[in-house]
Amino acid sequence: MKTILFYIFILSATLAFTTGNGKLSGENGKLSGVVTYKDYYELSNHADAGSEIYAINEADIKSTQYGDLSSVIESFQSNKSAYSLARYNTLDISAIIKLQADFDAASKFAFNYISGFKKLPAIVKASTNGEGNYTLSLRPGKYYILVISGILKSNNIVESKGNIEYKIVDIKSAGETFKDINFEKSENIMIMLITAWKRQGC
């Protein structure tokens, strides 16, 4: 009888402290938001259905080899912007080939890094519904949030399955935090920049 009561107590305690994507416990907070996308010439946003959201507590990621996630993503996005701009700003074929090689190398590193990050045991994952809404139940603390678009894709190894965005949010105990994400077809913006710079190599 004592053994049965013991197991019932353990089960009750486990259910009471459910974390991750489970039901909110007394200490968990909730992260909610809407993921959208738009073209550069559009005024309104569209629901980004099927987007993936990956969240991990800062304390959990700092003890891994993926603690520099923010730097890796920022470096990739910076390289992507520089390459896109330079591609429209020069007719020098050899320069374009070198830029492509440099960007491919940066993309490969970022791809491997992000792939490893997504497999961390402490990751909490969610997907957006048809309206672009998502909700995560998380322990209090600072979180690194990686969002992968379900609609917009780019011609590079990192974003072939969806463009990426990165945020940091603070989750309060038993509270609700809202974080909306908007993806924009930035590649199309480069077309507008063609007339803004005189092309090199002309």
pLDDT digits (tens, 9 = 90+) for 45-93: 999 999 999 999 999 998 899 999 999 999 999 888 888 887 777 777 8
The answer, yes or no, to whether residue 9 has pLDDT greater than 50, is no
Domain count for the chain: 1
pLDDT tens column, 100-151:
888 999 999 999 999 999 999 999 999 999 999 999 999 999 999 999 999 9
Q: What is the pLDDT of residue 11?
A: 40
**pTM for the full predicted model:** 0.77
More confident residue, 42 or 32: 32
- Distance, in Å, from the CA atom of 8 to the CA atom of 6, rounded to the nearest integer, reads 5
Question: What is the bridge-based pairing of β-strands 29-38 and 176-178?
Answer: parallel
Q: What is the pLDDT of residue 61?
A: 94
Please state which of the ranges 54-58, 87-91, 95-99, 163-167 shows the lowest mean pLDDT. Answer: 87-91
| The two three-digit tokens of residue 1, written as one number | 């009888």
DSSP codes of every residue in the chain: -HHHHHHHHHHHHHHHT--TTS---SS-EEEEEEEEEE-TT-SS-EE-TT-EEEEEEHHHHHTSTTTTHHHHHHHHHHHHHHHHHHHTTB--HHHHHHHHHHHHHHHHHHHHHHHHHHT-TT-EEEE--TTSEEEEEE-SEEEEEEEE-SS---SSTTTTT--EEEEEEEEPTT-EEE--EEEE-HHHHHHHTTTTSPPBT-
Average pLDDT across the chain, whole number: 82
The answer, yes or no, to whether residue 24 has pLDDT greater than 70, is no
Neighbouring-strand partners of residue 54: 125, 146
8 within some domain: no
58 within some domain: yes
42 within some domain: yes
More confident residue, 27 or 193: 27
4 within some domain: no
With cut-offs at 50, 70 and 90, classify the pLDDT of residue 3: low
- Kindly report the CATH number assigned to the domain that includes residue 152: 2.60.40.1120
168 within some domain: yes
The answer, yes or no, to whether residue 179 has pLDDT greater than 90, is yes
199 within some domain: no
51 within some domain: yes
48 within some domain: yes
Q: What is the pLDDT of residue 82?
A: 82
Q: What is the pLDDT of residue 27?
A: 86
Residue pair 125/56 in contact (Cβ under 8 Å)? The answer is no
The answer, yes or no, to whether residue 8 has pLDDT greater than 80, is no
Q: Which domain holds residue 130?
A: 30-190
Residue 58 φ/ψ, nearest 5 degrees: -55, -40
With cut-offs at 50, 70 and 90, classify the pLDDT of residue 19: very low
